[in-house]
Each structure stands twice: as structure tokens, then as C-alpha cells.
Amino acid sequence: MSPEQVAAYRDQGFMVCPEFLDPAELQDLRAAVLEAIASMNGRRKIAGPGADLQEGNEYYDRVFTQRINLWRISDTVGRYLRSPELGAMLSALEGVSGFRVWHDQAFIKEPFANPTALHIDNPYWSFYSRHSISIWIALEDATPENGCLCFMPGTHKLARYDNAFLRDEFSALLDMYPEMREIAPVVAPMKAGDASFHNGLTAHGAGVNMTLKRRAAMSCAYMPDGSTFNGQQNVLPDSYFSTLKIGDVLDNDQINPRLAAIGS
């Protein structure tokens, strides 16, 4: 990554990275994600240990099919999302020496799906950091017609920890941050295999799916190593959550594995 790309990411709070995966990698990851989702029965959204998040909100369930922590049930997913090369990119973008996986998420926007309301990610999570970051990998082409992402440039510098929910109206976030109403969203179509990165405080959303095909994507959120517990459970399993006090370092390798450094 060039210094110009890093500077642009830090200024805008997001970056699109064309051809992040080559065609063979794309096929490999897409197959692994779809297989892992298919292996999860019922309405529970998290694979393996985690909070008891279930489908059940009519509107939210029609934003996308959301399945979390596929890294626990698919070695292939884990290998891509925890690769040292990806870790090096995250570190360069955020200027942070090490990251842990916060959670991964598959987002399958089905035909006629609702839009993904504008929101910021980090306020949902169990730590606060201005340097959390997510990758979002298009497993199929994401277009303005089928609900590609949009990012609001520079909003990571304005965001506090007030947030909207994904079941809210598309623009509910702007009621909390009226100053963002003047910022034009950047619509980010991506080809299958392209990826984007966004800071955990960058406002973003996605449109409705106006096509007859699904829009499949795989994402992963990363927490700077050393981040501390803020009191929120989010995806943490009850057994771990109940042991935590505000301010404890979130350093459980079973729950939030550290990304290995290149060469280690």
C-alpha cells in the first residue's frame, strides 16, 4: 500500500481495494462462506460460543441474512480473515501494531431486501477505539441495483458514540449527527473479489436489493490489541462477559484471536 493510499484512507475513513482476491481465492472463500452458513441450522446468528443473538425482528431480518464468527466453523474463512498479510494492511492503515478479530460477519442481501440503515460500527461493540477497522469483501458483484455499500467520507472524525440501529429508518443516524447531512455519500460498487476497508467510526450503509439475485459479502471487524471492555456484551458469550469488569483488557485468545505478524 502506498503512503498516498494510507493518507487517503485516514482522511476519508474508507478505501476500496479492487481485486483484493484473485479468481481462485474468490471461489475458495465464497464456497467456504456459503457452506458454513448452510451448516448453521435455525435462527441463531453466531457460530460457536457467543451471545444468544437470534433472528426475530421482521424488518432487520430482511436487511440481510447475517451470520457471525464463521471463522470458528470454517478453517478456510479463518485463514483468509486472519492472514498476516491482511494484518499488515490493517496496521498500515490504522497505524496500530497489532489487531485481534472482533467478529466476522457474512451479509447476504436477498432479493428485495431492505436497505442497511446508515450507522457506525464501533459503538455496538464491547470496546471503544478510534482505530477499529473492518474489511468487507464482495463475494458477488455489489452494484447500486443490488445494495452495494455507501460511505460518508470524513465522518470518522465527527462520530461520537451515539448510534442508530440497523432496523431504524435509513437516515436515523443523521438525526443524531445533523452536521453529516451536508456530506455526500460515496456509493461503492465492487466486483466480486474486490474489498473495502472502513474505520469503525465511519458512517456507512447500503441500498435495497432491486434484483432477483442475492448480494453476498463477507466482512470482518478488528480490534486494536490492548483495547479494553466498555461494559457492553455485544457478541461476547455470557460465560466470558460475566467475568469482565469495565477497563479489563480484551485479550482472550479463544474469543478474540490475535492476528499473527508476517514471518511469525
In the bound state with ligand AKG, the residue whose beta carbon lies nearer, of 201 and 255, is 201
14 binds ligand AKG (CB under 6 A): no
In the bound state with Fe ion, the residue whose beta carbon lies nearer, of 27 and 62, is 62
The least CB distance from residue 192 to Fe ion, in Å, is 20
Q: What does the alpha-carbon distance between residue 222 and residue 85 come to, in Å, rounded to a whole number?
A: 14
Q: Which of 121, 125, 223, 256 is the binder for Fe ion (CB under 5 A)? A: 121
In the bound state with Fe ion, the residue whose beta carbon lies nearer, of 96 and 135, is 135
* Torsion angle defined by CA atoms of residues 135, 139, 140 and 144, in that order, rounded to the nearest 10 degrees: -10
Q: Which of 80, 102, 107, 125 is the binder for ligand AKG (CB under 6 A)? A: 107
What part of residues 138-197 is at the interface with ligand AKG (CB under 6 A)?
none
142: nearest Cα among 77, 194, 84:
194
Q: Which of 104, 121, 140, 194 is the binder for ligand AKG (CB under 6 A)? A: 121
What part of residues 37-96 is at the interface with ligand AKG (CB under 6 A)?
64
In the bound state with ligand AKG, the residue whose beta carbon lies nearer, of 74 and 114, is 114
164 close to 173: Cβ distance less than 8 angstroms: yes
136 binds ligand AKG (CB under 6 A): yes
107 binds, among ligand AKG, Fe ion, none (CB under 5 to 8 A by kind): ligand AKG
Cβ-based neighbours of 122, under 8 Å, separated by 6 or more = 128, 129, 132, 161, 200, 201
Q: How far is CA 68 from the centre of its chain?
A: 10
First to last CA, the chain: 21
- 3-state secondary structure at position 70: helix
What backbone torsions phi and psi does residue 261 show, to the nearest 5 degrees?
A: -75, 155
104 binds Fe ion (CB under 5 A): no
Q: In the complex, which residues of this chain contact ligand AKG (CB under 6 A)?
A: 64, 107, 109, 116, 121, 134, 136, 204, 206, 217, 219
